[in-house]
Every structure is written in C-alpha cells, then in structure tokens.
Amino acid sequence: MAPGDALIALPSSGVHSNGFSLVRRAFGIDAHPEVLARPEAELGCTLGEALLAPTKIYVKPVLAVMNELPVKGVSHITGGGFYENIPRCLKKGCAARIETAAVRTPPLFALLQKAGGIPERDMYNTFNMGVGMVLITAPEHAARALELLRASGEDAYLLGEITAGEGVILC
C-alpha cells in the first residue's frame, strides 16, 4: 500500500446494520412507529421498507477482483462508518483521502441527517453513506478492478486515493 493507490467504492443497499439506535431516535420511531409506514417520495417506498433493505453481500464480486488482480486492502463499512473501518486495513503511514463529492449518497441518508440534525462528520462516522465496501488497489489496476466489479453487477466507482498520513481524510 502506497500513496496514489486507488480507493474503490462498492455501493451499499441501505444503512445495513449501521447505527439503528440513532436511526430510531432521529426519526422518532419509538414514540411514533407509524412513521415507518409513511411513503417517502425521495425513496420510492416507505421509510420502513428503506430501513429494512437486506444487507448486500460482497464476497462474489470481491473474489472476482482478487482472483485476477492484487488487492492491497478491503474494508467493510459497518458500524463505525468510514472513520473506524477504513483505517483497519491501512498500512502505517497511509491515509485514505476520500472525495465527499464522489460519494454516491442515497436519499435515505439525507433524510436521516435532516430528521436527526446529525452533523456530517457523525454521518460518516456512524453510517456507510451508501458505501458498503472499499477496495484498495494500485492505480494501474483500478480500471480493470472496476470492470470486474461491474461485470459482477456492482456499480463500483472511484472514491479517492491513498495519501501519506493516518486515518481518513474527507475533502
């Protein structure tokens, strides 16, 4: 792993198992469970249906890449979001520089942030923000990794790159 390596995002299918205590509090679900049946135009379904979307499993598309290319790191974005999960796969002295404009955040996360008045940093620290898994590969392998992921049905995209430093840098 070295500066310049590519961060590739595999989209999530929703909040997965991230931060459901905060989700319940933000939407007031405990006091008003009827909000779960409310249709949300931005979501194309009810809030409850969006929150209960099954967690996507990434093993087949990730193995398709790993069988053909060297992968330097893999991070499943679960509880702890970007800030806690991505650093676990980083080599000492490496940081993940993520372009927030590149993150394809589904409307559910904007609704959640607005309903709960949740600061952006907390959204990235608790939720996956639409990124279920991150792969790290050399820049010369990024295009082929994206091809393999897309051939496996993933709408994968470049999320950022490795830089010198520590942790996660959102910019």
Instruction: Judge whether 48 lies within some domain.
Output: no
- pLDDT for res 9: 98
Tell me the pLDDT of the chain averaged across its residues: 94
Q: Is residue 46 part of a domain?
A: no
Q: How confident is the model at residue 18 (pLDDT cuts 50, 70, 90)?
A: confident
24 falls within a domain? no
Q: Is residue 38 part of a domain?
A: no
Q: Which domain holds residue 103?
A: 6-19+54-170
Res 50: pLDDT: 95
Query: How far apart, in whole angstroms, are the C-alpha atoms of residue 159 and residue 9?
Result: 6
Domains identified in the chain, total number: 1
| CATH number of residue 114's parent domain | 3.90.650.10
Q: What's the pTM? A: 0.92
* Residue-wise burial string across 70-93, b where 16 or more C-beta atoms lie within 10 A, e elsewhere: ebbbbbbbbebbbbbbbbebbeee
Strand order in the sheet with 157-164: 73-76, 131-137, 6-11, 157-164, 94-98, 167-170
pLDDT tens per residue across span 37-91: 999 999 999 999 999 999 899 999 999 999 999 999 999 998 889 999 999 999 9
Which tokens sit at 100? 């927030």
